[in-house]
Amino acid sequence: MTVPREMPEKWPRVRAPGGAEEERRVRANAREYNEKFQYASNCIKTSKYNIVTFLPVNLFEQFQEVANTYFLFLLILQLIPQISSLSWFTTIVPLVLVLTITAVKDATDDYFRHKSDNQVNNRQSQVLIGGVLRQEQWMNVRVGDIIKLENNQFVAADLLLLSSSEPHGLCYIETAELDGETNMKVRQAIPVTSELGDTSKLARFDGEVICEPPNNKLDKFGGMLYWKENKYPLSNQNMLLRGCVLRNTEWCFGLVIFAGPDTKLMQNSGRTKFKRTSIDRLMNTLVLWIFGFLVCMGVILAIGNAIWEHEVGVCFQIYLPWDEGVHSAFFSGFLSFWSYIIILNTVVPISLYVSVEVIRLGHSYFINWDKKMYCAKRRTPAEARTTTLNEELGQVEYIFSDKTGTLTQNIMVFSKCSVNGHSYGDVQDVLGHKAELGEKPEPVDFSFNPLADPRFQFWDPSLLEAVKLGDPHVHEFFRLLSLCHTVMSEEKSEGELYYKAQSPDEGALVTAARNFGFVFRSRTPKTITVHELGRAITYQLLAILDFNNIRKRMSVIVRSPEGKIRLYCKGADTILLERLHPINQDLTNVTTDHLNEYAGEGLRTLVLAYRDLEESYYEDWSERLHRAGSAPEAREDRLARLYDEVEYDMMLLGATAIEDKLQQGVPETIAILTLANIKIWVLTGDKQETAVNIGYSCKMLTDDMTEVFVVTGHTVLEVREELRKAREKMMDASRSMGNGFYQEKLSSSKLTSVLEAIAGEYALVINGHSLAHALEADMEVEFLETACACKAVICCRVTPLQKAQVVELVKKYKKAVTLAIGDGANDVSMIKTAHIGVGISGQEGIQAVLASDYSFSQFKFLQRLLLVHGRWSYLRMCKFLCYFFYKNFAFTMVHFWFGFFCGFSAQTVYDQYFITLYNIVYTSLPVLAMGVFDQDVPEQRSMEYPKLYEPGQLNLLFNKREFFICIAQGIYTSVLMFFIPYGVFADATRDDGAQLADYQSFAVTVATSLVIVVSVQIGLDTGFWTAINHFFIWGSLAAYFAILFAMHSDGLFQMFPNQFRFVGNAQNTLAQPTVWLTIALTTVVCIMPVVAFRFLKLDLKPELSDTVRYTQLVRKKQKTQHRCMRRVGRVGSRRSGYAFSHQEGFGELIMSGKNMRLSSLALSSFAARPSAGWIETLRKKKGSDGSTAGSPSGAADKTLKDSRGTRCWDARERTSR
């Protein structure tokens, strides 16, 4: 290969000093040369372990967990004879069990990763080696190899397309594994290599590619091919990425540029940021506190030991000598400290962490198995893609939602159009008059057109009449729609056309033109064939001026068979209306009125225009375009300037209006979530009018609202002033209503709490350019204060980065859980930023789903995910943790009290086998059953009473206060558990008159009392009984007695005489009536205060869930009919607009060849409970915390009524009945 003169004689370093690759250099058919750079092979490895490394690496990873390290430390202490008062197996059995379960899970996951890796690495590929095609496994492919792909084969690595079986080096690919889109996309080889069609020519190809280093940008590639003294620019249009599938192309050849882990597919498979719940963070804090409490208990008992040994123990050295090596009371106390650390460690049992993971796994399966969240149409179930966030679903306060495809269906229907000042598309009756609401006239008959799409429907026959009568403007209108697009056409059989559009909008427009007689039939890189009213016409395609988010328009330049050159353009009205010739002013005014009308109906609008070009001008412009396209630097900027130049002084043709219908159940879902005190913000790339109209359609915005603030400022000062005015209006309105707010200047935190308690309902709408200023550091707090005071917030024309910034802003200043939901790749950053990310598997691929924590197919399922699964998960986890800490403190603190009666000798009360089995056999399954299956009210009531969701938002069910209550109850139980049997045994005798008080009998009595008390307690805590709960609770009790009698049996003694010495002790002890009376007394005294407290609380201060359960019982007795929601219609309309959903670059590829109404809101049965006041007090208190902003709260909790006068349940009245 000859190096061109422009290239330096000495190549720059390919790798930076730190090892990072600065650029990539690949020479075709030169393995030895390419191996110098040590590029990655094509072998991928997603697995973590192999047979040799599994055990050490997995154990190392597991001991990264503080809890596991803590228990390993305890195990080491137990191996020291001088301080161990328990056998080593009391710790090693639970520890090994936990490590084994986790290791088996990790090994299973890694086995499937190995299996997947082997399947991919062993795929076969044809590699050109020595001029001959050889079958090689994918993992043996190297950078610089030329490989051959055949139709329907996966692309093995990131390839530079060299040639193909199609004309002009074209090939078609499907990118479902990259972005989830199943539309075909076109790629093209550069002309100089497209002729290398046979292996002999390819074997002699020695071109060298210098390009960007490996990165994860799927839509970008920059590089240069040097070959035969020339250089050729390369772009993403020339690349085939790993994971794509070759379609409708017999074969193609490609040069491997990136292999294995360097491919863009693998570069995008990085791990998502690990998310932790607020309960996880609280639990970590509580465990540290418990450890501190454990140390304090150890210190107290160690001091007691030192004092006892100094004062009392020294007098009994003859028959109770100190252990070897202990020479002082102080050292004895030091050893006693470590002994008690071992004995009392069960206040933080290792089984806690395992149980939490098992419960979360169970909750995840419930979500996956929920048939009510299964979409039969798409055969898509709900999926919990993580098991760590389930309980946080019950604490969400802010939802950030995309619009298109999330709230709407993203299925576009051509609804109306304006052509030369005439509006078409209103539904008409048989007499040609506009049909009244509710009439269903016949759709337009397209039977004259054999190529019409039978699924397309249009209701205004006058447009078809205009086509048949030869209206030139209407013909030109549909001619533009049939030519100005990037749709690919596939004809499966004669006359059966199948369009593959890059966006649903494009597909709808081309299909409309097809039905009205202008049928896009086929295309080549340089031509487009259209059947115009049955006559085939081929236009020469001269240029495609592609769409991007800045231009917001696309154009094509075509030459008609008559030789006339014309530019056709379609785009957003805000852009195109500025580029029209002044002669269009009158027509522009009429068309703008039509746009306002369409937008008011929630339709996505688009403006169409054209311009005739002189041959000489086009030739000059085309030459400049070619030079700009070949420029190595600032290519995009040069092209943009040329596009702007030619897209000017255009003639207006008309406008289109496309309907993007709301998804089923969206208004109801938003209304119910709002009543659950969840604030919903819509973040969309659509224009303001469209987003506002959808806001009205889905009942986020209503005509009853006090005011809707619109922020459209273009400068920092304008935005700040608009936000200030909005806040002042809200404050003034509240003062005028007599709310008594302070007149003086308030602090930031006080202002926030006052704003969030304002009277009236407000909404905020802000544009993307205004939002950019509002998110600046000196204004973000002002924006947040204003937005949080509003019931609804809509951000329009926002970028993906701005979506993430808004979510991050709320996370930063609000002590609130956030959830982001979207369906497209532009929502990924928002989904990853929020505490919880939800992906909707819709029309825009699966990138949002792949980045999400939970996924389903329809927005309405969010209501069930939060109000049922989320609330239940939070409730269950909180009840589990409360009970778990209670039972372990009740169990462990008995040792502490016993220490004062055994000379602080670190002697245990219980048998060591009981200590081992208490948390893993006797009490583990009942609490797991409660944590997995419990529910306070049925799912129907959870949906019917959204206010039941509030305790999770306020974190009422498990917090530091609840934790201390659980600990206090556990300590109280341990005191009674120890001192009642101790007092009884002091003077009790057996039936035969012998003394009852011996150590083993006392241990059996206390252990039996403990198991019975905690079993009765979990029976009281269980709100929803299943057969599994019954089996686990009573089965655990039965297992306790079976194991107890077995361990004191003759059989075990004969087999292990050194371990089970106390033969018959359990039988003898439990045969004494005194023991059973003691157990019964202990149980009653421990449980009765709890029962009494709960009864009084239920009677005097019931929670909403208590009231709901009571009303449910009343309903069953009275057999009253359920209420139905009123249907609420919307009056009025708002301006809307069209938003492109294209991606940039598609047109260039081709050119190179390449209002639902509200229903069934069962909120009329909403309960105004006596406890509403204290919930609101807590909410306001929470709102006033923090330096700048607190947690948001709604308006003061009124008697819960529907705003339109629907009657509500009065909980106090129902309770009094």
Enumerate the active-site residues. 402
Side-chain-facing half-sphere of 122: CA atoms under 13 Å: 6
CA geometry: angle 521, 524, 526, nearest 5 deg = 120
Sequence-distant (6+) residues with CB within 8 A of 761 are 702, 704, 705, 706, 791
CB 1216 within 8 A of CB 1175: no
DSSP at 705: S
Cα–Cα dist 62/96, whole Å: 12
Q: What is the DSSP letter of 868?
A: I
Helix (H, G, I), strand (E, B) or coil at 844: coil
| CA 438 to each of CA 294, 435, 702: distance values in angstroms, whole numbers, following the listed order | 73, 8, 23
Helical packing angle, 278-311 and 871-899, nearest 10°: 0
SS3 979: helix
Q: Which segments within 312-452 are labelled E, that is strand?
A: 383-384, 396-401, 408-419, 422-424
Structure tokens at 636: 């995009």
The residue written with tokens 């986890």 in the block is 877
Residue reference for tokens 């109906």: 601
252 in helix, strand or coil? strand
Residue 479 to residue 473: CA distance in whole angstroms:
10
- C-alpha–C-alpha distance, residues 894 and 346, integer Å: 12
- Going by their DSSP bridges, the two strands 792-796 and 679-683 should be labelled as parallel
What proportions of the chain, in percent to the nearest 5, are helix, strand and coil? Answer: 45, 15, 35
- Cα maximum dimension of the chain: 125
Q: How far apart are CA 842 and CA 837, in angstroms?
A: 15
Sheet strands (E) in 166-236: 170-174, 184-188, 208-211, 223-227, 230-234
Each as own residue / partner, the long-range contacts of residues 194-202 (CB below 8 Å, 24 or more positions apart, any chain) are 194/162, 194/163, 194/164, 194/168, 194/169, 195/163, 196/162, 196/163, 196/253, 197/163, 197/165, 197/253, 199/128, 199/131, 199/132, 199/133, 200/131, 202/128, 202/146, 202/162, 202/163, 202/253
Torsion of CA 340, 342, 347, 352, to 10 degrees: 180
The encoded tokens of residue 1009 equal 């009392």
Give the integer Cα–Cα distance in Å for 760 and 705. Answer: 7
Tokens of 372: 């009510």
Calculate ∠ Cα 639-642-648, nearest 5°.
Answer: 135
* CA separation for the pair 881, 889 (Å, rounded): 12
Q: What is the dihedral of CA 41, 232, 148, 524, to 10 degrees?
A: 140
Angle at 829 between CA 825 and CA 834, to 5 degrees: 125
Radius of gyration of the chain from Cα atoms? 37
- State the CB neighbour count (10 A cutoff) for residue 742: 11
Distance CA 209, CA 222 (A): 10
